[in-house]
Structure 1
Amino acid sequence: MTAFMPVTDKVIEDLCAIVGPHNVSVDEEKRLAYSRDEVGVQFWDRQYCADVVVFPESTEHVSRIMAYANDKVIPVTPRGAGTGLSGGAVPAFGGIIMSFEKMNRILELDLENLTVTVEPGVVTSEIQSVAMKHSLQYAGDPCSGDASFIGGNVAENAGGNKVIKYGTTGANVLGLEVVLPSGEITWFGGKRRKDVTGLDLVHLMVGSEGTLGVVTKIILKLVPLQERIVDLLVPFEKVEDAISFVPKVITEAKIVPVALEFMDRRALKIVSRYLGSSLPFDDAGAHLIIQLEGNDPEVLADEYEKVGDMCLESGALEVFVADNRNFREKLWKARKGIAEAVMAFYTKYAKEDISVPIKEVPALIKAVDEVCRKWDLEAANYGHAGDGNVHINLLAGEDRVDWHEAIEGARIDLYEVTKKLGGTLSGEHGIGLKRKKYIGMFLDEAQIRLIKGIKQVFDPKGILNPGKLVE
């Protein structure tokens, strides 16, 4: 383990000289706030807190900070908006938190190459807003897009509800400006759509959780914005009926939806209580949201009628067509609000991010029920059924004394089932500090050795987001 240098008064003075005193803070309240993400503090073994927070305004600032930290062997943890769910931006060894809220410019909208170049501190939905003014869209927009920074999306390779058609964040990243731990500035990729010159370092960086380099500019691809969108809200009496229907949309209807989302009864009840409103058939076992898009209204109508008929044939209680903004916003507000609702009403929970092959989702949901019965827990399940990524919330009663032990046992049982199903530990939230100790359940020694070797090449002194992914 690297022996890091402490952050002294002289270090603070030097950082102020690099970025200006107004971009450096040692205020305890601010340091604590910037040392957290959406993982509740009750889940950590101790309080993690940076020694100083810096707010770079340019790539040059980042370069000089990294060069200085590398020379002094001070740990640096990059941070976006703090919406992460894995502890990826939690400073495991103190040191410097580098917050990107001041690097928040949309630098270029290239309508000829269908790209947008942005800084990491841009809120993801702002990219979408700019693109839509030109009848374009950034299709990598995750469910957290109204709050998350694009830099955090890149660090975690965020997914979201559109993955089934457009892919994850990584599928929409063409190029990155990266500051290496040494302070060197380099570009990986560019506006090119094809490039096999050397290794694909763009997509090595995407999802590396800020452990290899600091992303300071991002080139994203844009796609045409379809003129019409229709959402189907489909309640089913049983969870297994809803989940079993999911692959039929593609395999039998021959239609690739934009989104195919799932919410079970408990998840919907929790978010309905949180929002103070409910969706139709809120006592149903599960709801699907199926989003379709197109430019031809007749073709789109044919598609959603076909899918709707198939839903009813497969046991759906009803099919609601959300073809107006108010209804669409209501149902997506419910879907996107579940994570926040769980945190509002529970303090003893585990938010899991399991990803399995699509056809194994029914088996996964069945296993969750069995695990919860074993450990006397409840579960609220929702997520991206169309791509096999299910967010499983293991819930313990507020008066449960042994909640931590029960949830820990349930997590391990769940991970073992996930592996047997050909699944993995995290689909989009990342490993971070939260899941690091379980990674050996899913990666063999050869893979872990390669990850450590890559880290050593990029960051030989181990200063960049240490304590994440693997030791």
Structure 2
Amino acid sequence: MQKYNSVSGKVIYQLKEIVGDKYVYTDNEKMEPYSHDEVAGSEYMQYPEVVVLPETAEQIAAIVRLANENIIPIVPRGAGTGLSCAAVPFLRGIVVSVERLNKIIELDTTNMFIVVEPGVTTDYIQKTANASGFLYAGDPSSGDSSFIGGNVATNAGGNKAVKYGTTRRQIYGLEFVSPQGKIITLGGKCVKDTTGYNLFQLLIGSEGTLGIITKIYIKLIPLPEHSMNLLAIFPDLVSAIQTVPKIMSAGVAPVSVEFMDNLVVQNCEDFLREKLPHSDDGYYIIVQIEGNNEEVLEDQCVTIDEICMASGAITVLVADSSKIWKARKCVAEADRARSLIFASEDLVVPMSAVSQAVQKVVEIGKKYGVRVHCAGHAGDGNVHANILKEDIPEDKWHEIVPQSAKIY
């Protein structure tokens, strides 16, 4: 492993010269939020030696060059909403936060793209696009707090990936600072660019290991005129999940197909303090469809209703969009309110194997006497399994957590 140097007083002085005294943190109280992401537990956190808040790509480039000269590790950081510890500075060194790079640079409705800095929240991009009659299709559940830079760096999926794909399919180009401290632009405003290697796609999902993203060129699409959300409620997990492939192959092209097991439904109801349908016994499949022809959408609703009822659904409801998505998107927050510490597993299987994967997770929970909450993006085979610590003793918890690997 590379031998790194500590951050010296001289380096801290030079960092202040680059960004200003106000934007260099060295005391633990200010650095604490930058020592972890959303994963709780002391083993998943590490204080950096210094946190720097640059405002421009040029400042980031200068910081990277300074770190290279002094052989000091750097960890770029977005909003810290991730659950994979990608933003945790386990080698200490310098954390470079992009929170001050938070501007929308350009909105081009003629060519249907938006150019933003990495510290803009996903939700703000969506609202800005919507206000002009367009849609940014990226929709992670943490969109109200996650930064678009983090979405790109992790190739975030989200609730609309079934129809529109993950983040990489929404990106036309990137500006980034290379590990050598150079500012590079790959791709850009052209929809079609088939010359040479598609290098900017390598950065998407690289979690900051190949460069620090400083500008993002994002695809927009016309905002559909109509949208409907159906809530299919099933008496058991298996019948709920096994309905999903039938919906996906029925020609209705859903935007989202999500699932929530009954423990998740009950926990979200308690957290939100809002009554949810059949919370005592229901397993949820949420299907969102959209389009410009209301009659076609109504026909698709009938098709989905017939499929679900034939597959054993208790009922199929036209859901209140705000209420049902509020419940779906609060799953992790509700779990944290119930148990500050939980192990979060994020697995992907073929769509036909989602039921088997979830049953395996539930079996592990029963075997070790832990509460397991399962939800996720059933339409593309993505299962989120949160294993809650609650009041389990520390020694037993540290024995249980490694067992979650058996899920895979």
TM-score by length of 1: 0.84
For residues 414 and 348 of structure 1, the distance between their equivalents in structure 2, rounded to whole angstroms, comes to 19
Q: Which amino acid aligns with 1:15?
A: L
The structure 1 residue matched to 2:337, chosen from 306, 320, 344, is: 344
The structure 2 residue matched to 1:226, chosen from 224, 227, 233, is: 224
For residues 242 and 402 of structure 1, the distance between their equivalents in structure 2, rounded to whole angstroms, comes to 36
Q: Which residue of 1 aligns with 2:40?
A: 40
- Superposed, which structure 2 residues align to 1:399-418 within 5 Å? 399-415=392-408
For residues 344 and 409 of structure 1, the distance between their equivalents in structure 2, rounded to whole angstroms, comes to 23
Q: Which residue of 2 aligns with 1:256?
A: 253
Shift of 1:18: 1.1
1:343-365 per-position Cα deviation (integer Å, ceiling 9, x unaligned): 11114421110111101101111
For residues 363 and 303 of structure 1, the distance between their equivalents in structure 2, rounded to whole angstroms, comes to 28
Native 8 Å contact 1:175 1:220 kept in 2? yes
For residues 256 and 8 of structure 2, the distance between their equivalents in structure 1, rounded to whole angstroms, comes to 50
- Superposed, which structure 2 residues align to 1:99-178 within 5 Å? 99-178=97-176
Shift of 1:268: 1.0
- Superposed, which structure 2 residues align to 1:301-380 within 5 Å? 301-322=298-319, 327-380=320-373
Q: Which residue of 2 aligns with 1:6?
A: 6
Q: Which residue of 2 aligns with 1:455?
A: none
Q: After superposing the two structures, state which structure 1 stretch, 362-371 or 107-116, moved more.
A: 362-371
The structure 2 residue matched to 1:286, chosen from 279, 283, 290, is: 283
Q: Which residue of 2 aligns with 1:295?
A: 292
Higher relative contact order (CA 8 A, sep 6+): 1
Tell me the matched-pair count. 408
Q: Which amino acid aligns with 1:375?
A: Y
CA change 1:10–1:155 in 2 (3 A) is same
Secondary structure of the corresponding residue to residue 200 of structure 1:
coil
For residues 353 and 278 of structure 1, the distance between their equivalents in structure 2, rounded to whole angstroms, comes to 28
Q: After superposing the two structures, state which structure 1 stretch, 152-161 or 370-379, moved more.
A: 370-379
Secondary structure of the corresponding residue to residue 241 of structure 1:
helix
| Gapped regions of structure 1 (runs ≥ 5) | 416-471
The structure 2 residue matched to 1:57, chosen from 55, 58, 79, is: 55
Shift of 1:181: 1.3
Secondary structure of the corresponding residue to residue 113 of structure 1:
coil
For residues 240 and 42 of structure 1, the distance between their equivalents in structure 2, rounded to whole angstroms, comes to 37
Shift of 1:61: 0.5
Native 8 Å contact 1:394 1:407 kept in 2? no
Native 8 Å contact 2:234 2:312 kept in 1? yes
- Superposed, which structure 2 residues align to 1:197-208 within 5 Å? 197-208=195-206
Native 8 Å contact 1:105 1:119 kept in 2? yes
The structure 1 residue matched to 2:378, chosen from 366, 374, 385, is: 385
1:38-85 per-position Cα deviation (integer Å, ceiling 9, x unaligned): 0103443xx510111111111111111111111111111111111111
| Gapped regions of structure 2 (runs ≥ 5) | none
CA change 1:199–1:403 in 2 (3 A) is farther
Q: Which amino acid aligns with 1:392?
A: A
For residues 96 and 368 of structure 1, the distance between their equivalents in structure 2, rounded to whole angstroms, comes to 38
TM-score by length of 2: 0.97
Shift of 1:410: 2.4
Secondary structure of the corresponding residue to residue 335 of structure 1:
helix
CA change 1:401–1:69 in 2 (3 A) is closer
